Amino acid sequence: MKRSTLKPLATALSATLWFAAGPALAALPAMQHQGEVQFLTGGVGKDEAESMRAAQPKFPLALEFVRKATPRDEYLADVEVTVLDHRGRSVLDAQADGPFLLARLPAGEYTVKAAHAGRTLDRKVRVTDHASARAVFVWAG
């Protein structure tokens, strides 16, 4: 094949692969560290939200933050998140930069507190070695 036909072919193939992969190409936010805990927070925009959802199974804890609204619920950011171990000690204290927070925690029982607009919600979660625990926090509109 001539060199002049290879470049358009490569460009077309690259574009085809990009469209086929779609949102999987959206970069995840940077990994953050606090003590022994690694976590990601974000999900602003459709592509990043889809990438965060796709990454959830790789993290022992997945949190989602939503406000009830009409005609549909809205994702939240700027949520203050505190994760307490079974003894009540804080193992993570962070601000969610988007509607998702994914964390790598050791197996155990935790209480997650999420605060937004002056209202705090809490959930008990059990993190295991073989599955991702998920908690959704929903504030009234």
Alpha-carbon span 25 to 14, nearest angstrom: 13
**What H or E segment, with its residue span, contains residue 47?**
helix 46-55
Whether the Cβ atoms of residue 110 and residue 84 lie closer than 8 Å to each other:
yes
Q: What is the DSSP string of 105-132?
A: --SEEEEEEEEETTEEEEEEEEE-SSS-
**pLDDT the model gives residue 18:** 36
Q: Looking at the domain 30-139, which fold is it?
A: Immunoglobulin-like (2.60.40)
Whether the Cβ atoms of residue 136 and residue 66 lie closer than 8 Å to each other:
yes
**Unique residue bearing structure tokens 């692969």:** 17
What are φ and ψ of residue 28, in 5° steps?
-80, 155
Alpha-carbon span 36 to 104, nearest angstrom: 9
Domain ranges of the chain: 30-139
Instruction: Render each residue's pLDDT in the chain as its tens digit; 141 residues.
Output: 544 433 333 333 333 333 344 445 478 999 999 999 999 999 999 999 999 999 999 999 999 999 999 999 999 999 999 999 999 999 999 999 999 999 999 999 999 999 999 999 999 999 998 888 999 999 998
Letter string b/e over residues 10-46, b meaning 16 or more CB atoms within 10 A of that residue's CB:
eeeeeeeeeeeeeeeebeebeeeeeeebebbbbbeee
**Residue 3 burial (CB count, 10 A):** 6
**pTM for the whole structure:** 0.80
**pLDDT the model gives residue 67:** 96
**pLDDT the model gives residue 133:** 94
